[in-house]
Amino acid sequence: MKVIVCGAGQVGYNIARQLSGEQNDVTVIDQSPEMIRRINDTLDAQGLVGFASQPDVLEQAGAADADMIIAVTFADEVNMVACQVAHSLFNVPTKIARVRAQSYLRAMWRDLFSRDHMPIDVIISPEMEVARSVKRRLEVPGAFGMIPFGGDRMRLIGVRLLDDCPIVDTPLRQLTELFPDLNIVVVGIDRGGQLIVPRGDDQMLSGDEVYFVADSGHVTRALSLFGHEEQEARRVIIVGGGNIGLFLAENLEREDPGVRVKVIELDKKRAEHVAERLERAVVINGNALESEILVEANAANTETVVAVADDDEVNILASLLAKRFGCQRAVTLINNSGYGPLLSSLGIDAVVNPRITTVSTILQHVRRGRIRSVHSLRDGEAEVIEGEALETSPLVGTPLREVKLPAGVIVGGVLRGDDVVIPRGDTIIQVNDRVIIFALADAVKKVEKMFSVRLDFF
């Protein structure tokens, strides 16, 4: 597949890294010679200095025979014009654009991006995606990550094992024997920074970060088994009244009227704007790093602080201070993934990375075959893929214990019509089943092929 990526920032670079690593033909356009030099020096991709929306630059990048353009520059207008030019002059089949300004995304202008006007196939709003990601983490207290599948009938849960976890040192095979009616599958274990796909005789150790797929109705019981019985937050402090904080507060007001929300925003004008948009939430104009503000926000009696300001250091410090004042749990936004390994040891419970969230959303539209959804984990170390099983798939018609899955791949769940199937060795996948697969990065292309139609089928 030939892909043009417009923008070599964090999102553009990581999309190019992921796609070029899977042997796609990738060209990256950016105005910055330094960023393009980094692309040429570190990736198996072609870097091109220029303005991504200009026809001659897109022509030089190979737009005439490109399969897809992904426009993720820092300017919404450049992203939109690049997609328009790619469509009008080069007939590029698939066009994806990142759009931050919410004015473009209002429901009243929904026809703007139709094929007859500005033909963009997929619009990505990072702020909205991050707000949804944070909301999912709030729904499952005790977990550092949650991804829903099949209309939330199944969930991938990430949980950290503590010393008092009752199933530490228990082989996974025994877990199934001890709890035969518990519908979960452990699909990944992060131990000391190394992500592995476990086998039946592997054990989970204290300090491991474990990923499991579960029937949504069994998640609470599963979390209890993993040593987590935290209650869902009824009081939430949001640090940062930017787009992410505002979207999250509006979402909580709309979908969880029983949750009491307080927003702390440093800028007075922005705080006034947020207060006008919200109906019940309390908006405090002040610095979340000041003790008086945290006392005013009643951090001592708050279950969860969500720090989503536009400064990583502020988010980290505000989270730690709120917990010191008595807040039980911290969900923290960071852009610098280098901070990630430090945060759990500091006491931060869950981390949200806008870049990883945006990359996951884009990959969902890049993957070939009958792929329904894709979620990137651990900065691209693994993916969780939901795909539809076709008649030609090697997964279909054979008990799973006899299917030769590639190394680093495990089936975590099956959605069959309205039914949830937790896969065991004797499970047989049927045509049209939606299969949830956990795959390490180097096995992703093989998983794509499992959900593609072979030419000899026709």
If one compares 368 and 358, the residue with the highest pLDDT of the two is 358
Instruction: Give yes or no for residue 94 having a pLDDT over 90.
Output: yes
pLDDT one-digit tens code per residue, 140-194:
888 988 999 988 999 999 999 888 888 888 888 888 788 888 888 999 999 988 9
In the prediction, which pLDDT does 58 show? 97
* d(C-alpha 286, C-alpha 377), whole Å: 35
pLDDT one-digit tens code per residue, 431-449:
999 999 999 988 988 888 8
pLDDT one-digit tens code per residue, 226-261:
888 888 889 999 999 999 999 999 999 999 989 999
Q: At what angle do helices 126-139 and 354-366 cross, to 10 degrees?
A: 100
The pLDDT confidence band at residue 453, using thresholds 50, 70 and 90, is low
In the prediction, which pLDDT does 254 show? 92
User: CB-based contacts of 188: which residues, under 8 Å, 6+ apart?
Assistant: 195, 196, 197, 198, 210, 211, 377, 382, 410, 438
Contact 131, 248 (CB under 8 A): yes
Angle at 416 between CA 411 and CA 417, to 5 degrees: 155
* d(C-alpha 440, C-alpha 297), whole Å: 42
pLDDT one-digit tens code per residue, 42-74:
999 999 999 999 999 999 999 999 999 999 999
Contact 371, 385 (CB under 8 A): yes
Please provide the average confidence, as pLDDT, over all residues in the chain.
Answer: 90
* d(C-alpha 99, C-alpha 395), whole Å: 38
Domains along the chain with CATH numbers: 2-124 (3.40.50.720), 235-352 (3.40.50.720), 357-457 (3.30.70.1450)
Q: Which of 39, 41, 44, 14 is nearest to 29 (CA)?
A: 39
Instruction: Give yes or no for residue 78 having a pLDDT over 80.
Output: yes
Mean pLDDT of 203-209: 90
Instruction: Give yes or no for residue 455 having a pLDDT over 60.
Output: no
In the prediction, which pLDDT does 448 show? 83
